[in-house]
Amino acid sequence: MIFGGYHYFETPDYDNCAGKVWYATKCSLLLTIPMSAYETIINLDQSKKALGGQFLKTNLPLLSAFVLGSSVSCAVANLRGQRDDNYNYIIGGFSTSAVWTAYYKSSLKGVGAGTIFALLGAGLKEVMKSDFVLWPELISTDVKVAGSSGFRDWGDVRIPGANWVDPGRRPGF
């Protein structure tokens, strides 16, 4: 949960559209500002006007694609009778084809990029619907070590359901 505790998938697709668009805007800036900073560092010998143009050329397409995709997916969810499913993200992802077609000046590249965004959006929605956990809690953190600074002690690993004991350790250490 980044950005003040709000997460994009906390509410259904048809609810809180302004919050979803604002979240998508912040996420895209989080992705694009390091890219454009890198571009700026590489091209420091250029004028400030050229650097500003490079900054906008790097940031605006991805920013507008994120905003357009989240806006269209929310609008489609409301137009389809407040349905909360993957088709909203597929349509929202394909809508970004307009941005990428203009950016690349090629309809084939634009549709290809829109297809990638559609698949990523539908896949992310499916992952969120299935309560997928990337790092399940397999390690017990009940063990406290004297003098520890409050961080997890990964020294005593206990896997749930395993019936073994490390013979080299005394209990409690």
Tens of pLDDT, residue by residue over 21-32, are: 888 888 888 888
Secondary structure (3-state) at 64: helix
Q: Per the domain annotation, does 23 fall within a domain?
A: yes
Q: Is 90 part of a structural domain of the chain?
A: yes
Residue 170 lies in a domain: no
Q: What domain range is 59 assigned to?
A: 17-129
Q: What are the structure tokens assigned to 153, written together?
A: 């002690």
Q: Is 158 part of any domain?
A: no
Reported as a single tens digit per residue, the pLDDT across 72-113 is 998 998 888 888 788 888 999 899 998 889 888 888 998 999
Tell me, yes or no, whether 163 lies in a domain. Answer: no
Structural domain total, the chain: 1
Domain contains 9: no
Q: What pLDDT is attached to residue 119?
A: 92
Is residue 34 assigned to a domain? yes
Confirm whether 149 is domain-assigned: no
Residues 6+ apart with CB under 8 A from 127: none
Prediction pTM value:
0.65
35 phi and psi angles, rounded to 5 deg: -65, -45
Return the sign of the alpha-carbon dihedral for residues 145, 148, 151, 153.
negative
User: What's the pLDDT band for 1 if we cut at 50, 70, 90?
Assistant: very low
Residues 6+ apart with CB under 8 A from 159: 138, 139
Count of alpha carbons within 13 Å of 10, Cβ hemisphere only? 11
